[in-house]
Amino acid sequence: MTDGAVVSTGSTDGAGWTDGAGSTGGSDAARLAGYVEVWWQAVDDFTRLLEELSDEDWHRPTDLPGWDVHDVAAHTAHLEAVLAGAPEETVDVGQPPHVTGLLGLYTEQGVVARKDRTPDELITEIRESATARHTALLADPPTDAGASPPRMFGGVGWSWERLLRNRPLDVWMHDQDVRRAVGRPGGLDGAAAVHVADYLAESLGFVLAKKVGAAPGTTVLLLVHGHAPVAYAVDEAGRGVRLAEAPTEPTATIACDRETFVVLAGGRRRAEDRAVSLRGDVALARQVVDALAVTP
């Protein structure tokens, strides 16, 4: 399950969480404001979707192990509430098999704490928390991308860049989790969808160099429908480096639609369940596709 974090490389070796590598240019203030607007629209779309669900829909399992639709909404409500200033909750989550690591334990606490809340209560919590935070961000917008936000979930040490860039990813990915669970496709052409796919594409270098361990000189070209080509090469130090231009003869080429890419990079489903075109060194391309999942 994702908490809005994604492993990325930009032009680095991909060690750790992204902090804006590969993000769009412009001033910090303008870029951060753009992230806020994408997140705000994603929240509105998500809550509108939740309002349309039947009672049965709220109990349908999602692609996230151990979580149904209610759990996904509860998780979103938890993080938005904490970011808006609500106190942290500490509850006993037991030892569910789908929880791994400290981050999983933290996010599960928010879900368990909301097990008895009605769908309307969860929707209201998401909307009220997001509205309070949106209002605060408009009244006093952050201007330094590297500065620390005054409030963070789980006490993680994220910058404004990392937090505001990751929130649209988390909300939109969970919107899609719900849509797949209840059979309501949509939301694939908006600003949040573009933001998430572009963001996840930055992890290609990490996947190629670190997860696959490709040899120096290896190049991979990623073609996601509706996005500019993305190409990475492994340098002599074994790092994944983004190329300014797509190579004419990459070692391997991977092509797919936006939904397929985010499902794979988000770790939701396996490659064999999706339509992906592989060219060049097909064995290498298959290794990369099988290792695309980069959200924890």
- Does residue 116 contact residue 149 with C-beta atoms inside 8 Å? no
Task: Give the pLDDT mean for 205-230.
Answer: 97
Q: Which fold has domain 28-196?
A: Four Helix Bundle (Hemerythrin (Met), subunit A) (1.20.120)
Q: Which tens digits make up the pLDDT trace of 152-203? A: 988 788 999 999 999 999 999 999 999 999 999 999 999 999 999 999 999 9
Q: Which tens digits make up the pLDDT trace of 258-292? A: 999 999 999 998 877 668 999 999 999 999 999 99
> What are the distances in angstroms from CA 159 to CA 83, 117, 131, 203, 277?
13, 32, 21, 19, 37
Residue 187 tokens, joined: 């939301």
- Does residue 203 contact residue 240 with C-beta atoms inside 8 Å? no
- Residue 24, pLDDT above cutoff 80: no
pLDDT at 288: 97
CATH 3.40.50.300 for domain 203-290, yes or no, is: no
pLDDT at 18: 35
Radius of gyration (C-alpha) of the chain in whole angstroms? 19
- Residue 26, pLDDT above cutoff 80: no
Task: Note the pTM of the prediction, 2 decimals.
Answer: 0.90
Boundaries of every domain in the chain: 28-196, 203-290
How many residues comprise the chain? 296
